[in-house]
Structure 1
Amino acid sequence: MIGRRQLLRVGAGLALGAGAAATGCSPGTGPNPDDSTGARSQPSCVPRSALDPHGDIAGLPLVYEISRRPTTFWFDGAFHDQLTERAKALPASLGKPAGQLRTYGSWISGSGRCTSWHNAGRAFDLAQIRTADGRLVSCRYDLWSAESGAALERRLQAYWRVAASLHLRFAYVLTYLYDARHHNHIHVDNGRSGAELSTFSSRSRVQVHAVQAIATYLWRREVPITGRWDRATRTATGAILADLGLPGSLTDAGSWRGFLTDARTRGT
């Protein structure tokens, strides 16, 4: 079992953000949410009338996390298709069928200031997943970060399996490690990856955080979760890839996707 000190090593530095908004991403989640220099287009403001209304993703009802009521949200059509493909893969990460997605939403009016992919209907904030048998798989670190021992370990493992599945498709998957605004949801957008599957950049703090958390919580390897592509992280991921029989490093697209494909089901 992972020790309490290791489990909370990341959370200690984030506790200062307790005053974060109680809802999902603000319009300030802009076009370049980390230090990666990868090509990334700028978001544009899209009127709601140009988007498609959806009350579900892959047949899973969308429930607004604040009201706990089924709600229709607006999406760019291609982005909704990408979310549908990922939602269909959720049972592998959950160990059972999904039944409902709780969310803080997708499209947000930019009011002329296009600072977020939410303004284009190309971002989505996932708060919790209800399985078909009624269990909640929570992406809300704000609700369970104070738990301890085996309970916290189970939460973290479930969280990072879901995050790994999302990372396969989207280059930007913003978790509680990104900042305090993301303690209550996982944000995904296709601003960098577009229509393609994601690839790994060692300059991406977002992706390096994910690699370090997956190594720590799913592979049980001692990796400081810093967001830096340091020697400890390179050594740990090299050993994991070797165990998986994958060549090269995570910058190889096949090895990156193999790493995430394994992580999304590890321990289920």
Structure 2
Amino acid sequence: MSGSEEFIRPAMSRRNLLLAGTAGVAGAAGLIHSSQALAAGPSAPPGGTSAPPAPSEPLDLEPSEVSAMALITRDYLGTTGCKLYYEPSGNPNSFTFNDTFYNQLSSWKNFIYNNAPDSWGWPSRIYSYGAYVDKPGMHGSGRAFDIGKIVYKNSSGTTHTISMRYDVWHGGSNAALYRRRYWGAAASFARRFRHVITYADNSTHHNHIHADNAIYGSTTDCYYSTGSTSQTYIVQGCCRVVWGLGTALDGDYGPETERHSTQVLRRIGRSSGNITNKYNFRAFLTASFRKAVGTQSY
């Protein structure tokens, strides 16, 4: 990637043409506002009676007022071509979201579509442990999502998987592949959401990545706080696994993390500054996802 902060796919690429039919159907339905709020309870797993257990909130969570907001229930993300599944059972499922957060997630899905290899096709399935859960915190307002797996499918039916199931693959023969894609996915979430919690944070997150919009859910608001352990894990995980720099995964921003992340920035065409510059941080995250999934080698 050159000095550009973000990769933008042309509006009518081959894959956009492929998805045009489903996008038109879902466009209006995906933007339901508060006047159409549903009195929805927690999403129960198929055949179950209660919502999936919620993970602990991030340790570096900053205070955030949670006010009454519209909730919507969906069995797809963004377009009907991207279906939602309950990870423990593997079955199709509906989840309940705050409507603003849902639209932010849909924008994230567009990012991982636009920045994956053309040969992968589009994200056709997203497996989750849940969004809204009847409890305090971001899950209790439908503003958090726990993701276990992303499956892409192309027009010939070939699939490619990004798995967040560290608990499943970390000791397996394909661990290196899945680990690289994992940290690329973490970078894609961090490109939009301030709170992204990975397996490096604690054992609760060994089977999913948690994302919420407690602070922001916008690419234009994205910045790096060196005091955030969770953000630093993602920077270090990308430097170590995606870029092969051997960076220590300790959650502390220090000289090594600064040096290695700056090496990545120079490699992708950012000619000055370090990762504490918000534009450099955004470019680092975008490039890390693209390299992790094989879109661009840099």
1:51 alignment partner in structure 2 = 71
> Counterparts of 1:229 and 1:24 in 2: how far apart (Å)?
34
- Size of the aligned set, in residue pairs, is 232
Selected match of 1:249 from 257, 271, 274: 274
Which has the higher relative contact order, 1 or 2, with Cα contacts under 8 A spaced 6 or more apart? 1
Question: Is residue 205 of structure 1 aligned with residue 202 of structure 2?
Answer: no
2:148 alignment partner in structure 1 = 127
> Counterparts of 1:257 and 1:191 in 2: how far apart (Å)?
19
SS in 1 for 2:244: coil
Question: Is residue 76 of structure 1 aligned with residue 98 of structure 2?
Answer: yes
Letter in 1 for 2:178: R
> Counterparts of 2:74 and 2:251 in 1: how far apart (Å)?
35
Deviates more, 1:172-181 or 1:196-205: 196-205
Q: Aligned pair in 2 of structure 1 residues 27, 206: CA closer, same or farther (>3 Å)?
A: closer
2:189 alignment partner in structure 1 = 166
Letter in 2 for 1:177: A
Superposed displacement of residue 250, structure 1: 1.5
Q: What do residues 16-36 of structure 1 show as CA deviations (whole Å, max 9, x unaligned)?
A: xxxxxxx9662642xxx2347
> Counterparts of 1:123 and 1:259 in 2: how far apart (Å)?
24
Q: Aligned pair in 2 of structure 1 residues 25, 88: CA closer, same or farther (>3 Å)?
A: farther
Provide runs of 4+ in structure 1 moved above 4 Å.
Answer: none
Q: What do residues 35-74 of structure 1 show as CA deviations (whole Å, max 9, x unaligned)?
A: 47xx541446x69xx4111111022111111222211111
1:5 alignment partner in structure 2 = none
Selected match of 1:90 from 97, 101, 112: 112
- Check conservation: 2:258, 2:275, Cα contact below 8 A: no
- Check conservation: 2:55, 2:205, Cα contact below 8 A: no
Question: Is residue 117 of structure 1 aligned with residue 138 of structure 2?
Answer: yes
Q: With structure 1 as the length reference, what TM-score do the two structures score?
A: 0.80
Selected match of 2:54 from 26, 39, 48: 26
Q: How does 1:178-197 map to 2 (within 5 A)?
A: 178-195=201-218, 197=221
SS in 2 for 1:159: helix
Superposed displacement of residue 194, structure 1: 4.5
Letter in 2 for 1:57: L
2:42 alignment partner in structure 1 = none
Q: With structure 2 as the length reference, what TM-score do the two structures score?
A: 0.72
- Check conservation: 2:188, 2:285, Cα contact below 8 A: yes
Question: Is residue 177 of structure 1 aligned with residue 200 of structure 2?
Answer: yes
2:128 alignment partner in structure 1 = 103
> Counterparts of 1:220 and 1:199 in 2: how far apart (Å)?
24
> Counterparts of 1:98 and 1:224 in 2: how far apart (Å)?
32
> Counterparts of 1:249 and 1:24 in 2: how far apart (Å)?
40
- Let me know the Cα RMSD of the aligned residues: 2.1
> Counterparts of 1:55 and 1:176 in 2: how far apart (Å)?
26
Q: Aligned pair in 2 of structure 1 residues 259, 27: CA closer, same or farther (>3 Å)?
A: closer
> Counterparts of 1:237 and 1:173 in 2: how far apart (Å)?
19
> Counterparts of 2:55 and 2:175 in 1: how far apart (Å)?
31
Q: How does 1:8-23 map to 2 (within 5 A)?
A: none
Letter in 2 for 1:123: A
> Counterparts of 1:251 and 1:257 in 2: how far apart (Å)?
10
Selected match of 2:241 from 210, 214, 217: 217
Larger Rg: 2
Superposed displacement of residue 215, structure 1: 0.3
1:41 alignment partner in structure 2 = 64
Letter in 2 for 1:52: I
Superposed displacement of residue 237, structure 1: 1.2
Q: List gaps (5 residues or longer) in structure 1.
A: 1-22
1:4 alignment partner in structure 2 = none
Q: What do residues 237-268 of structure 1 show as CA deviations (whole Å, max 9, x unaligned)?
A: 12222222322121211101111111110051
- Check conservation: 1:25, 1:125, Cα contact below 8 A: no
SS in 2 for 1:258: helix
2:34 alignment partner in structure 1 = none
